[in-house]
A and B are shown apart, each in its own frame.
Chain A
Amino acid sequence: MTVGYYCHWVLFEHEGVFVHSSTDAVEDQDLLISGYLRVLDKDGETVVEYKPLEDTVDPSNMLCACKDSSSVVEWTQCPSDRSHHVVDQQQQSCETEWDMVNTVSFKRKPYANGEGTSYHTHEKNCWAFSFTAADLRTVTVKTEGWTHLIFCLKDDTTLPTIHFHQGGCKEFMDCLQRCVHLTECPRDKTTFLVSCHNKTLSQSFENLLDDSNYGLVHKLKKDPYVATLGGFSKVTNYIFDAFRGPELEQREMPAEEEVAADILGEIIPGLEINQLEEPGFEVITRVDLGSRPEVQRGEPLSLADWLKYQDKEGRVRKVPELKERIFKGGLCHVVRREAWKFLLGYYTWNSTSEERKSLQRRKTDEYFRMKLQWKSVSEEQERRNSRLRDYKSLIEKDVNRTDRTNKFYEGLENPGLILLHDILMTYCMYDFDLGYVQGMSDLLSPILYVMENEVDAFWCFVNFMDEMHENFEEKMQGMRTQLIQLSTLLRLLDLAFWNYLEAQDSGYLYFCFRWLLIRFKRELHFQDVLRLWEVMWTGLPCQNFHLLVCCAILDSEKQKIMDRHYGFNEILKHINELSMKLDIEEILHKSEAICLQIKNCKDLPCSVSEILGLKAACDKSTLELSDYGILTPPLHTSGELVSNGHGQLSETSSNGYKVAFIS
């Protein structure tokens, strides 16, 4: 039986897929054959196979599934949604809208005991089938309580209907879509015509999105630029690898490939980068960015200069110019306490000193009212309020582990620590839904250090948190969005480096997580954090400037990373170890230069302009799917690509990579 080792990519696998053995019989009497459905990549060829399990269906299992309604998820087609996506459909005719509903409506009478056991393995094997995707003519998707699929091959064979009693149909279809082109049949909405698209391209998509959660459809819909470019660059990875020679193959190839795919697997479905407008369907091979201009930075704004910007009533004038100066040089420390309140939006620029005083009075009252709320919670009450208790215990733990080498927070019983604690507790009262999440103490610490005042620090923190809120929410949407945006920018700026990262399974840039979550707070010396933040808060020279700061830092490290052939782990380690070794002025120089470079670029991809807020309206001319053809596919055959990949993989001893050895 064993015919040596075959290397196959398993693109999809799902158990709990059923064939009903006697389709003509009364429904209740037909026998369910449970099996697993797989999509494999065998030397570049996509193969769909279905195999019954060794054991016959265990009815008790199915009843279990019935009872636990939450765990049984079925997908139904939702044609009413279709009209919404006319544009999308034109671009991706393969797209299907699926809506997830919880159904548990499959009811099967457990068959008589003897029946199951009398069923021989031999007989069951006759239900197994396998075909290459190229031979597939149509797939029909029907939903009646659960979803079932009918495959019809080009030679007119209709395979046994397979039933997804335990979900997985959508994932299967997603996977299939990556391998072949599906077009809805004009006469029958439930049937899809299959055609094979460009092999190399589909190969690249598979690699990009080889996690079944990943949902190409979604990704394409939400950010076609990312999806397509990512796909294409994957192709170039292989060329790149081929050039790199054999030493690459010996390196460790970690299991974490899926890692970030998992993080992002969750990311993509809910992701809404371009909430307002769907960007056009862009295919960008390489944008010529032009040279990076030199930039000059200035001196920090002195107190005398700061005061010059205020009129007699205390209104701040010439705000754009002032912001420009702050952007260019930052602030002298004495100015910070006042200026930060404006930059953070606690004070409005055109308020008078009088107005600000009264605002402060009101805000002080408000603050202490909220502070009293948690202060007056009795132990008894606390015992019954687990969320408050949890927030409190986390805050206590974290306050003791935040900037303890800073004079303001060092030692025991330092008043700075108590303030940090109290403000964070009060913030929980201000926003109980969010409460306290790790990382927030890092964001507060510099603000409190500058304000040296509990109330002002609190309100400035509130404003900063408004900006950072999404990063800390349950789904960490902000982090997801930022990682994708950063990836988009990096690809534009340095495709070769991004390709390298991709090849090291690091294209998701998870190693920038800490940078983004707390805005470089842990990466820079405390004083440099103050500088960076005030520069960022000017909102200049573009939106999401902090992402360009990431690009600038990575730009300085890329050579090292690539020359030393760092892999997944080493990249993570290298980036983590940059902490406290970065030079803020150099970074700000470079970030601004990158921004100018991008602004000077004429044919900037829409998605990039949108991230940086560069153009009000984006040219929405769209390209058809066929425009993929612009790309010249690499000379490799996909078969070579695959075996190349496998050669690498089989040599490594690391864990759980996305390859199965089937014997």
Chain B
Amino acid sequence: MASKSSLLKVILLGDGGVGKSSLMNRYVTNKFDTHLFHTIGVEFLNKDLEVDGHMVTMQIWDTAGQERFRSLRTPFYRGSDCCLLTFSVDDSQSFHNLGNWKKEFIYYADVKEPESFPFVVLGNKVDVTERQVSSEEAKQWCLENGNYSYYETSAKDSTNVASAFEEAVRRVLAMEERGEHLIPTDTVNLHRKPRSGASCC
């Protein structure tokens, strides 16, 4: 069908302060800035990479996590190829909110088939010793919610950051290979439920 777009839109979602911006910066610029501001509005960075022989440009979108800013961030969900649900392993609340983030994403991104949409879950700040969320809990959640890949990352010491983003790309490519994802990304289609039959009466 259509030629595959090499531009992948990936969006980082999760509570304020879980480290979304830090992860993005770590991945794209390989820096960890402890002086980073909290995010206001919407930002994105591009990163070119090769995954399994595919050249892709990943466009990583980062938004503000606070509830209040929902109306600003949600419009940018549309067209995402992958969603990185992020929590912080030292903050159980951020873990418990994953489900809400997923829901918000599916709703506003207008995902056609939520069951097969590629989500990747990131448990960030694994360098911190006082954990509130165990790996087992997180893995369990991922299993129950759609068998998502789970990565324990640290933007601070760089653990697993690249692997997590690459997994996002792999997931998208796998989707496209199965052909299921072609309609939402490669062509334009507004319908929640596409129907056939144009002529009538």
Contact of A569 among B3, B59, B69, B74 (CB under 8 A): B59
Pair B35/A404 contact, Cβ less than 8 Å? yes
Which residues on A are within 8 Å of B, measured CB to CB?
A: 1-3, 6, 10, 13, 49, 51, 54, 125, 128-130, 252, 254-256, 258-263, 266, 393-394, 397-398, 401-402, 404-405, 410, 437-439, 441-442, 472, 474, 476, 510-511, 513-514, 517-518, 522, 569, 572-573, 576, 649-650, 652-663
- Chain B hits for A394, CB < 8 A: 16-17, 66
Contact bitstring B1-37, A, C-beta under 8 A = 1, else 0: 0110101010000001100000000000000001111
Pair A513/B40 contact, Cβ less than 8 Å? yes
Contact of A397 among B17, B42, B78, B186 (CB under 8 A): B17
In whole angstroms, what is the CA distance A258 to B110 when docked?
12
- Chain A hits for B186, CB < 8 A: 653
Pair A656/B190 contact, Cβ less than 8 Å? yes
Contacts A653-B186, A660-B191 hold; do A404 and B34 have CB atoms under 8 A apart? yes
25 contacts between A and B (CB under 8 A): A51-B200, A130-B201, A255-B188, A256-B76, A256-B79, A262-B74, A394-B16, A401-B37, A404-B34, A405-B35, A438-B38, A510-B75, A517-B40, A517-B41, A522-B37, A522-B40, A649-B188, A650-B188, A653-B185, A655-B79, A657-B188, A658-B190, A659-B189, A660-B191, A663-B196
Pair B79/A13 contact, Cβ less than 8 Å? no
Pair A653/B2 contact, Cβ less than 8 Å? yes
Interface centre among A254, A259, A442, A522 (most CB of B within 10 A): A259
How close is A483's CB to chain B, nearest CB, in angstroms? 10
Which residues on B are within 8 Å of A, measured CB to CB?
A: 2-3, 5, 7, 9, 16-17, 34-38, 40-44, 59, 64, 66, 68-69, 71-72, 74-76, 78-80, 93, 110, 184-191, 194-201
- Chain B hits for A128, CB < 8 A: 200-201
Residue of B whose beta carbon sits closest to that of A394: B16
In whole angstroms, what is the CA distance A514 to B64 when docked?
11
Contact of A1 among B9, B64, B194, B196 (CB under 8 A): B196
How close is B5's CB to chain A, nearest CB, in angstroms? 4
- Chain B hits for A658, CB < 8 A: 190
How close is A411's CB to chain B, nearest CB, in angstroms? 11
In whole angstroms, what is the CA distance A401 to B5 when docked?
37
In whole angstroms, what is the CA distance A58 to B71 when docked?
34
If over half of B's interface residues share one DSSP class (helix, strand or loop), that class is named, otherwise mixed; here it is loop
How close is B45's CB to chain A, nearest CB, in angstroms? 9
How close is B39's CB to chain A, nearest CB, in angstroms? 8
- Chain A hits for B35, CB < 8 A: 404-405, 410
* Leading 7 A-B pairs by shortest Cβ distance: A655-B79, A259-B75, A255-B79, A397-B17, A653-B5, A404-B35, A657-B188
Residue of B whose beta carbon sits closest to that of A259: B75
Contacts A439-B40, A655-B78, A656-B110 hold; do A1 and B197 have CB atoms under 8 A apart? yes
Pair A260/B196 contact, Cβ less than 8 Å? no
Pair B75/A263 contact, Cβ less than 8 Å? yes
Pair B188/A513 contact, Cβ less than 8 Å? no
Pair A656/B184 contact, Cβ less than 8 Å? yes
In whole angstroms, what is the CA distance A13 to B184 when docked?
18
- Chain B hits for A474, CB < 8 A: 68
- Chain B hits for A401, CB < 8 A: 17, 36-38
Residue of B whose beta carbon sits closest to that of A663: B196
In whole angstroms, what is the CA distance A93 to B189 when docked?
35
Pair A660/B189 contact, Cβ less than 8 Å? yes
Contact of A572 among B3, B36, B44, B185 (CB under 8 A): B44
In whole angstroms, what is the CA distance A559 to B78 when docked?
29
In whole angstroms, what is the CA distance A437 to B117 when docked?
32
Contacts A401-B37, A438-B66, A522-B40 hold; do A3 and B198 have CB atoms under 8 A apart? yes
Pair B16/A397 contact, Cβ less than 8 Å? yes
Residue of B whose beta carbon sits closest to that of A42: B198
- Chain A hits for B41, CB < 8 A: 511, 513-514, 517, 576
- Chain B hits for A410, CB < 8 A: 35
Pair B68/A130 contact, Cβ less than 8 Å? no
In whole angstroms, what is the CA distance A513 to B75 when docked?
14
Pair A438/B68 contact, Cβ less than 8 Å? yes
- Chain B hits for A6, CB < 8 A: 198
Residue of A whose beta carbon sits closest to that of B42: A572
- Chain B hits for A125, CB < 8 A: 200
Contact of B187 among A252, A258, A404, A661 (CB under 8 A): A661
- Chain A hits for B197, CB < 8 A: 1, 51
Pair A129/B191 contact, Cβ less than 8 Å? no
Pair B40/A262 contact, Cβ less than 8 Å? no
- Chain A hits for B44, CB < 8 A: 569, 572-573
Pair A655/B188 contact, Cβ less than 8 Å? yes
Contact of B68 among A2, A262, A437, A511 (CB under 8 A): A437
Contact of A260 among B5, B36, B69, B75 (CB under 8 A): B75
Residue of B whose beta carbon sits closest to that of A517: B40
Pair B201/A402 contact, Cβ less than 8 Å? no
Contact of B78 among A259, A393, A514 (CB under 8 A): A259
